[in-house]
Amino acid sequence: MTTVTLPGVYTPQDDTALLLRHLLHEPLPAQAEVLDVGTGTGAVALAAARLGARVTAVDISWRAAFNAKVNAMLARLPLRVRRGDLLAPVSGRSFDLILSNPPYVPAPAASCPRRGAARAWDAGHDGRLVLDRICEDAPALLRPGGVLLLVQSALSDPEKSLRQLRATALRAEIMEHHPITFGPVLRSRNGWLRACGLIEGEGEGAGADADADVDDDEKEELVIIRAVRLG
């Protein structure tokens, strides 16, 4: 079922589709407890609910939390929606599966936006302001054998995510590398990303070679990280 996206809420895109695909291949125990962190429209959370899971969806945005509730009502699916900062609303609980498509886009601003649409994607100079918190805090909420599925950009250092998760005794690996072309946000930051060394290529010159360089510059790689809490 197609979800409704209200004004000011992140529209499901390639990263959402990638996370959904891996969710559908994830074996879940009966009556699994699932957490969707940064739920947005609730698209991923509702996909988990359709699999029979008991799902809690969290978002810091009032609009997103309301949007997820609307989509749950339209789909006639049970969904517990909590408004709050990442894992804080579910402190003390445990889950069989944690899903997250968090803000991960490197940005010129050092801090995350406090309001506006960019809050759904901007995450500091290295794109890790939210990723670091999830990698540090999510493992404690996983049950033995529980799984974290996390999507991020290769621009925001997936190897650091792996190191952080493994430091908490999780078995973590990259499940898929998925190339996509830059969207409007990254295209607008091409020069800044190059100056920071986050993408290669000068993007200068003339003729067909220059066009090829620009095309190569404007490709991003999404990755899916799967981390398991060993018994």
pLDDT, tens only, 92-123: 999 999 999 999 999 888 778 787 777 888 88
For the chain, how big is the Rg over CA atoms in Å?
A: 18
* pLDDT class of 211 with cuts at 50, 70, 90: very low
Task: Report DSSP letters for the chain, one per residue.
Answer: -PPP--TTSPPP-HHHHHHHHHHHTS---TT-EEEEES-TTSHHHHHHHHTT-EEEEEES-HHHHHHHHHHHHHHT---EEEESSTTGGGTT--EEEEEE----B--SSSS--SSSGGGGTB-STTS-TTHHHHHHHGGGGEEEEEEEEEEEEGGG-HHHHHHHHHHTTEEEEEEEEEEEE--HHHHHTHHHHHHTTSS------SHHHHHHHHHHHTEEEEEEEEEEE--
Q: Report pTM.
A: 0.90
Task: Give pLDDT, residue 215.
Answer: 55
Euclidean distance between CA atoms 114 and 206, whole angstroms? 41
Which phi and psi angles does 78 have, rounded to 5°?
Answer: -75, 130
* pLDDT class of 203 with cuts at 50, 70, 90: very low
Q: Which domains are seen in the chain, by residue range? A: 14-181+221-229 (3.40.50.150)
128-182 residue pLDDT tens: 999 999 999 999 999 999 999 999 999 999 999 999 999 998 999 999 999 998 8
